[in-house]
Amino acid sequence: MRNYTQFYIDGQWIDPSEPRTAEVINPATEEVSGTISLGSASDVDKAVAAARRAFATFGESSAKERLDLLEAIQAEYLKREEELGEAIMVEMGAPRSLACGFHTLLGKGHLSTAIEVLREFKFEEQRGVTMIRKEPIGVCGMITPWNWPMNQTCVKIFPALAAGCTMILKPPQLAPYSAQILAEIIHAAGAPAGVFNMIQGKGSEIGTALSKHEDIDMISFTGSEAVGVQIQKDAAETVKRVGLELGGKSAWIVLDDDTMAANVAAATAGMMGNSGQTCSAGSRLLVPSSRMDEVRKVAAEAANGVSVGDPTGNVAMGPVVSKSQYNDIQRYIEIGIKEGAELIAGGPGRPEGLDKGWYVKPTVFIGTNDMVIAREEIFGPVLVIIGYDDVDHAVAIANDSNFGLGGYVSGTDLEACRAVAKKMRTGAIWVNGGFDFHAPFGGYKRSGNGREWGEYGFHEYLEVKSIVGWNPA
C-alpha cells in the first residue's frame, strides 16, 4: 500500500494546507493500492511563491549549472528506473514489460535529449546591430495526464529546467505514484529549493488555480480538448502563454502493395498497445476498398491475437485506467454497433475469463468516416477501418477530422509514402515506423498548439528578446 500524503514545495516534503485524501485504485484488481493528499489553492499559492523566489536565481543560472543538474537527475533516474516502471504498472495498468520498458525509456530518453540539446543550444545570437537573446519564460504550471505518465511529465520538466524555468507539477490523480518517485529523484539530485514543486490533487481545483494564477507565466497541459479549452479561458485573464497537446483521431494510411497485409496486422496490433490509451494512436486505419475482404481477415486475426490480462504476467495488453474510462469505451462500442459499423473483432464486455479489473476486448470495426466512432476520440483499444478508392481519397479521409495530432503511412514505395505524408494535415507522421526523440511533436487544429520533444520543446519555455544597438551600426 502506497501512502503519499505530502507535497514537494520549496525543496521540502510538507503537509497539505487542508487534510484531504483520495484513494488510488489499481485498475487490474479494482482494489485500493494507496492514498494521496488532495491539494488546494492555498497549496498552489505556496508553490508558486517558492517557484517565483527560486526563479530570481535559477533564471540567471548558467547553461553549465543547469547541465550539471540534469546529469545529476539522470544518475538518480537510472537508480530508480525499475521502481518507476513498477509504479506505472500499478497506477495505470500497463503490462510490466511495457511499464518497465517503453514507459520508463521515454522518460529517460527525454532527459538525455534535453542534456544533448542543452550542450549545443544557443541562447544568444548576434544579427547585425542586434543581439537576440532567448531567456526563460519564468514560472511554469505543468498539468499532465495518466496515460503515459513519465513521457508526458518528463517531456515538460526537463526542457523547462534546461531553459532556466521554475515550475509546479500537477500530476494525474489517477496515476500519481510515478510522479511522486520522480519528485524524489529530482530532490536527491540536488535541485535548488523552489525550482521544482509538485502538488497532487484534482485537476478541477489545482489545474484551475494554476491556470488563473497571476504569478505563473506559462501553462503546459496535455489532456482532453474540453479541459484544454477551459485552461485557455482561465489563462486568458492573465495573458499567460499556454501550450496544449490535446486529443487525436489519427489516420494510418496503408498503401496498396504486397506488404499491405503485414502492415494492416501491425497497425491493428499497434492500436491495442497501452490499451489504446495513446493520443496519437492510429485509431482510423485507411485501406484499399478493393482489398477489404483480405483486410477483414488479417485485422480480425491480429486483434484476436492480442493477449489481455494481469499486467504482472506476460501479456500484451492490461486494463484501461479506471471504471469511468471502461464505461466510456463500452458506450462507444455500443454506438458503433448501433451506427451499423461491422464488428469483426472484440465487442462489448470484458474478455473471457476476466471478471475483475477494467479490461476491454481489443475491438475492430469496419465503418465510414462520418460515424461517431470515427469522429470522436475513444481512448481505448477500438480501431475503425475505413476503405479508400485511391490515394487522394485516402488523404481526403485522413484530413476530414477536427483533430490533427498524429498520422502514419505504410508502404514499400518510399516516395509515394513521402508524398502522402506531405499532404496530411497533422503535426507528426511516422512513415514505416521509426522513432526520434528530436522530432517535434504537437497538433494541428483541435489537437492543440505548440511543440514538444527535442530542441523545439526548448522554445516553449523561452522568451525572445531583441537588444537593438548591441553593436554600433
Q: What residue spans in the chain does CATH classification 3.40.605.10 cover?
A: 2-246+447-468
Q: What pLDDT is stored for residue 472 in this prediction?
A: 87
> Which whole-number Å values give the CA distances from 18 to 4, 43, 422, in the listed order?
15, 9, 52
Rounded mean pLDDT of the chain?
Answer: 98
Cα torsion angle, 237, 241, 245, 249, sign: positive
Q: What pLDDT is stored for residue 136 in this prediction?
A: 98
What mean pLDDT do residues 6-32 have? 98
Q: How much of the chain exceeds pLDDT 90, in percent?
A: 99
Q: What residue spans in the chain does CATH classification 3.40.309.10 cover?
A: 251-437
Q: What pLDDT is stored for residue 50 in this prediction?
A: 99
Amino acid at position 325, single letter? Q
Amino acid at position 401, single letter? S
- Buried residues in 236-275 as b, exposed as e (16+ CB within 10 A): eeeebbbbbbbbbbbbbbbbbeeebbebbbbbbbbbbbbb
SS3 at position 79 = helix
Q: Which of 81, 86, 245, 377 is catalytic?
A: 245
Query: How do residues 213-229 score in pLDDT, each as one tens digit?
Result: 999 999 999 999 999 99
Q: What pLDDT is stored for residue 473 in this prediction?
A: 75
Closest by alpha carbon to 423, among 438, 437, 444?
Answer: 444
What mean pLDDT do residues 349-376 have? 98
The architecture (CATH level 2) of 251-437 comes to 3-Layer(aba) Sandwich (3.40)
Amino acid at position 67, single letter? L
Largest CA distance in the chain: 78
Cell of 71: 546529469
User: What letter does residue 427 receive in the DSSP assignment?
Assistant: S
Angle at 152 between CA 139 and CA 159, to 5 degrees: 45
What mean pLDDT do residues 237-244 have? 98
Q: Is 427 in contact with 279 (CB distance < 8 Å)?
A: no
**CATH tag for 2-246+447-468 (out of 3.20.20.70, 3.40.1410.10, 3.40.605.10, 3.40.50.2000):** 3.40.605.10
Cell of 206: 489545482
**Residue 245 a catalytic site member:** yes
